Amino acid sequence: MTDSILSVRNIRKSFGALNASDGISLDLRQGEIHALIGPNGAGKSTLIKQIAGGLRPDSGSIEFLGNDVTRLNTAQRARRGLGRTFQISALAMEYTVLENAVLGAIGQSGKVFRLFTPAMKDKALLDRARESLKRVGLEAQENAITAELSHGQRRQLEVAVALTLAPRAFLMDEPMAGMGAEGSKALTEFLQELKQEAPILLVEHDMDAVFACADRISVLVYGKIIATGTVDDIRANPEVRVAYLGEEDAI
């Protein structure tokens, strides 16, 4: 697996008697969108937290770009090129759109301990931030206060901030949530373009979106990956139908 950018190796995490991650292994390969699906309570967010660095696994390891990053914190992993977007928008709400993007550029540039030069006059930071905003189509809103953006625009801004890091892999937590059909479709197209520069590990509830854009899918149930494969593999997998799709239909 020379083209594996991110590999999770047999990680375990339990909270008391609950095994939230029960020996999970998965990998993210160059150029793909790898979707992680599973019913509520399957342990998706616990897994994402461990990959992002917010939570340390009890055992097992996580490799990123060929290096063991299991013991690195969130900021260190981000600096190595792990770009992340959140389920509930994690943005500085009082800042303008541009300020949020500049924040990403600051992290990427390592200029955070410059105390006396104005950030919003630093051409390199501004260029980088504006370039990312342009890619997601927010360049016209750069002076808007983030709290005043629509839900969909916040999603776009999340992606823009992640882009400022020039990431080597993306970790996206339900980017389609609350986007509406139109927005989802546009985002799906954008993700197809984005995966060319860095692969995407996508956690998503919207099944149509997942089946439309994912190259591979892993299904997580009760802390275990019960199947990994192409869209067709997963559709055909009887175990998945029982454990997951059946449940969805029942609702």
- Closest contact distance (angstroms) between CB of 91 and other proteins is 6
Report the SS3 class of residue 36. strand
- Closest contact distance (angstroms) between CB of 101 and other proteins is 10
- Closest contact distance (angstroms) between CB of 248 and other proteins is 26
- One-letter amino acid at 137 equals G
Give the footprint of other proteins on this chain (CB under 8 A). Answer: 52, 54, 73-76, 78-79, 84, 86, 90-96, 99-100, 102-104, 106-109, 111-120, 122, 125, 145, 161-162, 164-165
Q: What does the block give as tokens for 55?
A: 């939570």
Q: DSSP for 125-168, please give it.
A: HHHHHHHHHHHHT-GGGTTSBGGGS-HHHHHHHHHHHHHHT--S
**Comparison of 19 and 74: residue with beta carbon closer to other proteins:** 74
- Closest contact distance (angstroms) between CB of 56 and other proteins is 12
**Comparison of 1 and 88: residue with beta carbon closer to other proteins:** 88
Say if residues 98 and 130 touch (Cβ distance below 8 Å). yes
Q: What does the block give as tokens for 201?
A: 């590990």
**Comparison of 43 and 104: residue with beta carbon closer to other proteins:** 104
Residue 62 and residue 98: Cα distance in Å, rounded? 33
**Comparison of 115 and 251: residue with beta carbon closer to other proteins:** 115
